[in-house]
Structure 1
Amino acid sequence: MPAQAERSLAHAYWLQNPGIQAVFSAIETGGDEARVVGGAVRNTLLSHDVPDIDIATTASPQDVMDRAARAGLKPVGTGIDHGTVTIVSSGFAYEVTTLREDVETFGRQARVVFGRNWENDAKRRDFTMNALYADRDGQLFDPLGGLDDCLAGRVRFIGDPDTRIREDYLRILRFFRIYAAYGSGDMDQDGLGACLRQRDGLRHLSPERIGHEMRRLMKAKLAATALRMMSECGLWEIATGGLARTSDYEALRSLDDLAPETRDPEVGLTVLAGFVREDLERIADRFRLSNAERKRMQAAWAAAKSLRTEETFPSATRFLYEFGRQGATDGLLAFAATALGQKTGLSADAVGDYLMDLRSSSVPEFPLKGADLLAIGCAPGPELGRVLAALRQRWIDSGFDADRGQLLDQARSGR
């Protein structure tokens, strides 16, 4: 029987929700038990947000499906062959998985049988802080001593770290990501050593899995520390195919209090990997980034490059007009990261002042269209485009002050 911890999660807001209590009531019949496991327990203990809730149970997957349906809930067999059923209750989706035991392990293709032993289920998980369970009343169950590790911010593999990693090489990246999000103090040396020994296993992972994990890591509070260690261990180069500017990234994250965008993977990857523009395409391909993510990185890189050619910051309106609100903000942060990382003399205060200007200034919008020139008698064709371009430049040269009427007057006088 799992050891019972003295701490309780009875205060947790999500545990008091009628929706989750309905799930417990549906499953816990016929002598079966159900407990919340993993992230929701860990995050509550550490006062982090709880975005999703996983439940472990002794009930078979088919029994979970049948009982949920009889209770008027909506069961979905999302991974029923592997023991996982999603139950929708009061509009929230709960992932319910039957207790499992590994019989044979072939990487991610482990042969699994369903069981009723909570300790055996805990032993097949990754880190001790993720092997914590709570029943419907908030009573904690800690079969592997994960509670102390969780509260101390110690990220430790369950059992032999090399064995855990060989079961799924993504656990190398998860080790760094979980540390970045929940860790405190130095990294666990046994775990770090195992990651170093097993690092070639990263080459067997799909780009999608690597990209998903790395984007999550870069949002965490200790991402800079974790990424520096990854780089020093050669893991970043294996995962991304390139080098990392970790000092620049640390400078970027030093601006966390100024701008939430410092945590965005697009900005972080631009700083870490964007030595030249082609690096952005390589990292985007490597991580299978979306077109929107690619475009945001390219805009940030171009805006940062333009700032490197300026002796002082350009006017906020001109910078906004050229790159848009997001491109200008991302570019400023990427530029500042490099300047601060290389100790060029730029101050964080100056960055903050310019960032405030970018946030408070309006993005200029050219007040004329081709139709406006046609309406005053300009002939269609290439000449119309040249006139429109000349007027746009006059508008920019005026500091974006010339209004529509003034520009049309200039167009008439120039005919």
Structure 2
Amino acid sequence: MGCLFRAGTNKAMTTTADQILQQADWLKTPGIQAVFAAIGQDGDEARVVGGAVRNTLLGHPVPDVDIATTASPQTVMERALAAGLKPVGTGIDHGTVTVVSNGYPYEVTTLREDVETFGRQARVVFGRNWTRDAERRDFTLNALYVDCDGRLHDPLGGLDDCLNRRVRFIGEPDKRIQEDYLRILRFFRIYAAYGAGEMDADGLGACLRQRDGLRHLSAERIGHEMRRLLRAPLAGSALKMMNDCGLWEIATGGLARIDDYLALRSLEATASDVTDPELGLVVLAGFVREDVERVSDRLRLSNAERDRMRTAWAAMKCLRQADGLPEAEHLVYQFGRQGAVDGLLGRWAGLRAQGSDPTEIFGGLLERLREVAVPEFPVKGADLIAAGHSPGRALGDSLKALEADWRDSGFSLSKQDLLTRAGAAT
């Protein structure tokens, strides 16, 4: 079956898209071709859909490949098994089977028609109509399909939107959002990752009208989407619009320092760390220490993510209150290398947002933080006990006093120097 055309998609554009897709490395692999061959029998078709097609056309990496098919889930299972592939019914009730081929997992989903929805839940029937399947998806640039030969199928004219980086809902935006309120955040996240120019006015208006629906979403789903948004190239623009529309406060329960975050992202050429969600959230929402806990709870962040945010916030506070710029060794010893880098970048962004540009000084310190060895306190409690000190609170106080002396010396005092100070020279 050849390419399907709709208004806004011309033949030359589609031919170019075909040529790009036919050269895609992921489409040439024996693994995916084995999946196509296994499923595409007895009149059934299989096509790659969504992100892999979009990303290939826009020159972005393709992390995973999803496949749509007219074959039923049970048929997919049977044919994959018969072909020597490994089928796993990961979401078989909703039509999805994961087929492992050459060690790579492909999510294969039967064409669907959502006939009645209840928030994210839907009563689903499987179908064979590619246009109906496209109509139930979220955005036009995601409703693109490619077959095993690299031919594009564009039931809704999404190719033009894709190539022009326009993020538009399929059909009525309000209806699409009411089917799943997470699509509000996806609208901003997809724009931040792939968009260009002004955000679609119809989609933006629908997000504004439906924004209270975010309150019905689980923290895990919001957190997952926000992490991905914060990593995207246009996260600053998307988050500014979210904040202006009142969506940030609903999603996170607090206010946002958008200017600081925009300044942070302006440092991306200097430090890739600025795209890390943990640092971004501290800069955006960390007005006081309690904000770190609130955002971590609100977005169900992991313990590791929470700990990084805590350390980044403490390092930013230290730099903000310091009389002058601390030495790199002191920062990495107190906060660890990543914490020190995060704190410096956060403070740097705050100063930029205020109209100052400490690039010359902060840039040099950043390089030093990347390369300096983390000092290691050379004295342990066992050293003092071995030299005659008694275990107990006094021992701990002695260690703290020695550590303070060591820090004040610029970490230059040796172990023997410190033991001598403790009256325990051997």
Q: State whether TM-score is above 0.5.
A: yes
Paired residues of 2:114 and 2:124 also in contact (CA < 8 A): yes
Listed as ranges, the matches of 1:337-356 within 5 Å are 337-343=349-355, 345-356=356-367
Partners of 2:282 and 2:176 lie apart in 1 by 32
- Residue of structure 2 aligned with 1:175, choices 167, 181, 187: 187
CA positional deviation for 1:381: 2.8
CA positional deviation for 1:412: 3.7
**For residue 258 of structure 2, what is the amino acid of its counterpart?**
T
Listed as ranges, the matches of 1:11-410 within 5 Å are 11-343=23-355, 345-410=356-421
Partners of 1:205 and 1:386 lie apart in 2 by 50
Partners of 1:271 and 1:58 lie apart in 2 by 47
**For residue 328 of structure 1, what is the amino acid of its counterpart?**
A
Q: Deviations over 1:352-408 (max 9, x none)?
A: 221111001111110111111222233333332232222212211110011223223
**For residue 91 of structure 1, what is the amino acid of its counterpart?**
G
Q: Deviations over 1:201-242 (max 9, x none)?
A: 111111111111111100000000000000001111111111
Q: Does 1:3 align with 2:4?
A: yes
CA positional deviation for 1:414: 7.6
Paired residues of 1:101 and 1:112 also in contact (CA < 8 A): yes
Partners of 2:285 and 2:351 lie apart in 1 by 15
**For residue 398 of structure 2, what is the amino acid of its counterpart?**
V
What's the secondary structure of 1:103's corresponding residue? strand
What's the secondary structure of 1:293's corresponding residue? helix
Paired residues of 1:255 and 1:348 also in contact (CA < 8 A): no
What's the secondary structure of 2:120's corresponding residue? helix
Q: Greater shift after overlay, 248-257 or 384-393?
A: 384-393
Partners of 2:299 and 2:43 lie apart in 1 by 46
Q: Deviations over 1:266-313 (max 9, x none)?
A: 101101111111111111111111111111111100110010111321
Partners of 1:183 and 1:320 lie apart in 2 by 38
Q: Deviations over 1:16-37 (max 9, x none)?
A: 1111111111111111100000
What's the secondary structure of 2:422's corresponding residue? helix
Partners of 1:248 and 1:382 lie apart in 2 by 44
What's the secondary structure of 2:296's corresponding residue? helix
Paired residues of 1:368 and 1:404 also in contact (CA < 8 A): yes
Q: What is the aligned length?
A: 414
Partners of 1:203 and 1:394 lie apart in 2 by 52
What's the secondary structure of 2:405's corresponding residue? helix
Paired residues of 1:256 and 1:262 also in contact (CA < 8 A): yes
Q: Greater shift after overlay, 5-14 or 356-365?
A: 5-14
Q: What TM-score, normalized by structure 1, do the two folds share?
A: 0.97
Partners of 1:181 and 1:289 lie apart in 2 by 22
CA positional deviation for 1:413: 5.9
Q: Greater shift after overlay, 382-391 or 330-339?
A: 382-391
Partners of 2:314 and 2:33 lie apart in 1 by 52
What's the secondary structure of 2:109's corresponding residue? strand
What 5-or-longer segments of structure 1 have no aligned partner?
Answer: none
Partners of 1:264 and 1:127 lie apart in 2 by 26
What's the secondary structure of 1:256's corresponding residue? coil
Partners of 1:240 and 1:381 lie apart in 2 by 45
Paired residues of 1:236 and 1:244 also in contact (CA < 8 A): yes
What's the secondary structure of 1:105's corresponding residue? strand
Partners of 2:314 and 2:368 lie apart in 1 by 20
Partners of 2:393 and 2:122 lie apart in 1 by 67
**For residue 164 of structure 1, what is the amino acid of its counterpart?**
R
What's the secondary structure of 1:110's corresponding residue? strand
Identity of aligned residues (%): 68
Paired residues of 2:46 and 2:68 also in contact (CA < 8 A): yes
What 5-or-longer segments of structure 2 have no aligned partner?
Answer: 6-13
Q: Greater shift after overlay, 3-12 or 33-42?
A: 3-12
**For residue 269 of structure 1, what is the amino acid of its counterpart?**
L
Partners of 2:397 and 2:255 lie apart in 1 by 45
Paired residues of 1:325 and 1:363 also in contact (CA < 8 A): yes
What's the secondary structure of 1:218's corresponding residue? helix
**For residue 124 of structure 1, what is the amino acid of its counterpart?**
R
